Chains A and B, each alone.
Chain A
Amino acid sequence: MYLLKKIKMNKSKLLISAAMSVVFLSNSAFAADYPSRPISMIIPYGPGGATDISARTISEPLSKEVGKPLVMVNKAGAGGAIGSVAVQNAKADGYTMLFARVGTHTVNPAIKATLPYKLEDFRFVGIYEINPVACAVKADSDINSMEDLVARAKAKPGSVSYSSSGVGSLLQLAAAMVLKEFGLENPVKQATHLPMKGGGGAATAVLTGTATFVCTNSSALASFVKNKQLKPLLVTTAEPVAGFDAPTSKDLGKPNLEQLVGWTGVAGPDDLPDDIAASWGKWLGTATSNKEFKEKMEARGSVIRLMSPEESKEFINKQYNQFKALVDELGMRVEG
């Protein structure tokens, strides 16, 4: 085991030094003919998940723009950390890129102290989709609004529970944030967090009555809402979400909640050269305006919104700082 680790360490050292020398020697030399070979696109979650499907859907119009094949590589595990680390340690030559997601790059860094990477280790070349977040209870529940929910949590601490797809997931943070916004002083103490394995389990827990409510991407709840199995209480965007008969953050006068959205973007290691980032910005622009791509994504409930590399960085940092402040205030940080 020790030997294995040592070999691995040497390898990563080698990689880093190789990456550095390449950057020093020819920062702009290969940009002219970039890309000259297939590009590995790391998906930090398993096949079939929301990130995987989103990534594979955009890869179609994107690879036409890039002109070289995009090789989709699933590197799942540890809530996306394994795939993210692989890109963090990769050469900054633009041939290893990451599909980054709200979970891997804002929620996880905000909650987990022991994460093997930081937000600054990555350079974002664009965000291409936004997923509104919705909160819902079981359809036959007597809770009809966020006020009802918070009133119950206050009246009987511990009687309200929320399910999530695990510690450090958007679902956990979203539920705590929403409760806090609606006046529950200490959501971590006054409500119970029920971590499930995976996002599907989280919605199911509300259906079976195991948890009181769940806050997650609207697309994950859409079919339950349409089938009248779940009752939406709010959506976090300012605009209404199709199929969700629930007040928006604007209707409720909670502008802070607008930051609470999921997203998917593309990132490389932090020392990715400018011209490569610029090329990606351009490619993503053309790919996201593809009509077929738009239709497919919108059918699954996501909102196509392209951000330039600069906008992406600003958006993500803002979300990260807000999440981090909340985590610190509520004492949700995982240290061990």
Chain B
Amino acid sequence: MTLLENLAAGFELVANFESVFALAGGVLIGVIAGAIPGLSATMAVALTLPFTFAMQPITGILLLLGVYKGGIFGGSIPAILIKTPGTPASSATILDGHPMVKNGQAGKALGMALWASCTADLISNLALILCAGWLAAFALKFGPPEFFTLILFSLTIIAGVSGDSLLKGIVSALFGLILATIGLDLVYGTNRFTLNDPNLMGGLNFIAVLIGLFAIPEILAMVWNPKSNEGETQSLGKEWVTFAEYKRCFKSIVRGSFIGVFLGSIPGIGAAPSAFLSYSEARRKSPNKENFGKGEIEGVAASESGNNGVAGATLIPLLALGIPGDVITAVIIGAFMVHNLQPGPMMFLNSPDIIYGLFMGLIISSVFLFLIGSVAIRAFRYVADIPRGILFPAVMVLCVYGCYAVNNNIFDVGVMFAMGWLGYVMLCKGIPAAPFLIAFILGPLLEDNFRQSMLMSGGSGEILVRGPITWFFWTLTIITIVAIIRSGLGKKKAEAVEHGNQE
């Protein structure tokens, strides 16, 4: 059968009331769950799983996929409106999304998040349908040494999100790296900086650090200086995103989508690094470079396309190899197993109807995401109109509740407040929080993969340059670092010249 015939057969399987309803319902559940801080997309998918046991296999899996996609988008709503990412994947969206709200462009930011998400979603789905086999073969070439070089390259993102001072960015990243070392050592299993407290053995909870670092300092600043924003109303902005803006950001969106597709097809990376990488690439290439971090719509577009581009692509290792790329797809594999389906190469031969049914369903899900997302942001954007005196205490309650809900652990709430104070000090000193977060995510990955590589080679460093993929990332890393140094020197020179002129 040709691809088209297969797709037609798949369409037949999906073109019924139950499947369409499951998809729409899934997206709706996902958007709402994603929009509530602390109720991550993972949790929403895990909680929906038991309901799918009684359904037809395809209906159940489509429901879960709907929740997944909706959840990843939904997380951007609180990230933009109240600077509290609903899911870790949307933390990059804060960087420009929240400043846009402060500029009175809440509607615009949300609209662009939705458009970028849906575009990336579509590209990601098409990549899954057209090049699953090729990308899966590529993903299988990724061992610890390849991971190590990829992550080393990704750490250069820090320069892209450091704001004005690279030095301050590096200080922030160092904080992140140090705090990320808390917990159990991967290779020896020994305790590191746990102070004999079992709560610290698992390391600092990621969500607690995230919320503490971004949302709490804002509230503390408000408590410290309640009158700073008096008189300034946050007009919600009836302003909607225009097609011209979409067109302007289109290149960044496509680039972000492809970054998402590549990183998504490699198991074990996840959506947050992809969003940051897409963001920093967009900033590097954009003519509006200076405006990034101050409310640039292209920044929102880049990070949202980066994280949604992952959603379809994580299904590539899942369907083609049977490997779950992240926790969410691990849950979805559970749904396959309950119906006695074993995802992997044989499934394309044994039950192609289901595979192509899923493909069709995914395409339809992008449409639902657009429709349901539009309704959701119209409802949610009024949050930007709530007076700060009411909004901030409410956000505070949400943060505490959300942080607790992740692991039902009061210790995490303590971590959140401690991080909040750290974040506040950083805010006062003008140290950006994003490098901290990136180092906190990537640092442990870098260390683990380095040490795994060393175990594999028996301590020889040669393994780190063992193949073309490693060479590729080493080259990229070197080029990027040289570019950063050169632009830094150039800036200094320009400043010196300016200084000279003034005198």
Contact = CB atoms under 8 A, between A and B. Distances in A.
B456 A161 contact: yes
B241 interface: no
A200 B267 contact: yes
A253 interface: no
Contact of A75 (B43, B45, B46, B409): B409
Given A78-B184, A197-B448, A300 B342 contact: no
A227 B349 CA distance: 10
B331 A48 contact: yes
Contacts of A335: 190
Contacts of B197: 5
Interface residues of B, number: 65
A285 interface: no
Contacts of B330: 48-49, 200
Contacts of B452: 194-196, 210
Given A203-B323, A209-B143, A47 B47 contact: yes
Candidate in A52, A76, A77, A201 with the most chain B CB atoms within 10 angstroms: A77
A85 B198 contact: yes
Contacts of B343: 223
B163 interface: no
A299 B184 contact: no
A1 B45 CA distance: 35
Contact of B407 (A1, A75, A161, A201): A75
Contacts of A150: none
B246 interface: no
Contacts of A69: none
Contacts of B344: 223-224, 226-227, 229
A78 B194 CA distance: 11
Contact of B345 (A79, A204, A222, A229): A229
B126 interface: no
B267 A227 contact: no
A303 B202 CA distance: 30
Contact of A195 (B53, B187, B321): B187
B407 A334 contact: no
Contacts of A48: 42, 45-46, 49, 327-328, 330-331, 334
Contacts of A208: 140-143
Contacts of A193: 455
Number of chain A interface residues as a range? 35 or more
A207 B323 contact: yes
A194 B456 contact: yes
A60 B51 CA distance: 11
Nearest to A224: B322
B187 A299 contact: no
A212 to B, nearest CB: 11
Interface stretch (A22-30, A108-116, A260-268, A275-283): A108-116
B84 to A, nearest CB: 21
A218 B339 CA distance: 17
A247 to B, nearest CB: 22
Nearest to A292: B53
A55 B330 CA distance: 16
A122 to B, nearest CB: 15
Nearest to A49: B330
A210 B323 contact: no
B458 interface: yes
A74 B201 CA distance: 16
Contact of A53 (B49, B198, B336): B49
B456 A210 contact: yes
B187 A226 contact: no
Given A82-B201, A226-B346, A195 B322 contact: no
A222 B342 contact: yes
A305 interface: no
A330 to B, nearest CB: 14
A299 B455 CA distance: 36
B42 A47 contact: yes
A228 interface: yes
Contacts of B334: 48, 53, 300
A73 to B, nearest CB: 5
A317 interface: no
Contacts of B189: 111-112, 166-168, 195, 334
A192 B456 contact: yes
A300 B409 CA distance: 30
Nearest to A78: B201
A291 to B, nearest CB: 13
A1 B338 contact: no
Contacts of B340: 299
Given A49-B330, A53-B49, A223-B343, A82 B202 contact: yes
B364 interface: no
Given A57-B50, A336-B191, A210 B342 contact: no
Given A46-B42, A47-B42, A296-B53, 10 more contacts: A8-B411, A75-B409, A112-B189, A197-B448, A203-B323, A204-B267, A223-B333, A223-B343, A226-B344, A334-B189
Interface of B: 42-43, 45-47, 49-50, 53, 140-144, 183-191, 195-199, 201-203, 205, 267-268, 321-324, 327-328, 330-331, 333-334, 336-340, 342-347, 407-409, 411, 414, 418, 448, 452, 455-456, 458
Interface of A: 1, 4-5, 8, 46-49, 52-53, 56-57, 60, 73-79, 81-82, 85, 111-112, 114, 116, 158, 161, 166-168, 192-197, 200-201, 203-205, 207-210, 219, 222-224, 226-229, 296, 299-301, 334-336
18 contacts: A1-B418, A8-B411, A48-B327, A48-B334, A74-B408, A81-B202, A200-B323, A201-B267, A204-B267, A207-B321, A209-B143, A210-B143, A210-B456, A226-B344, A228-B345, A228-B346, A299-B337, A300-B338
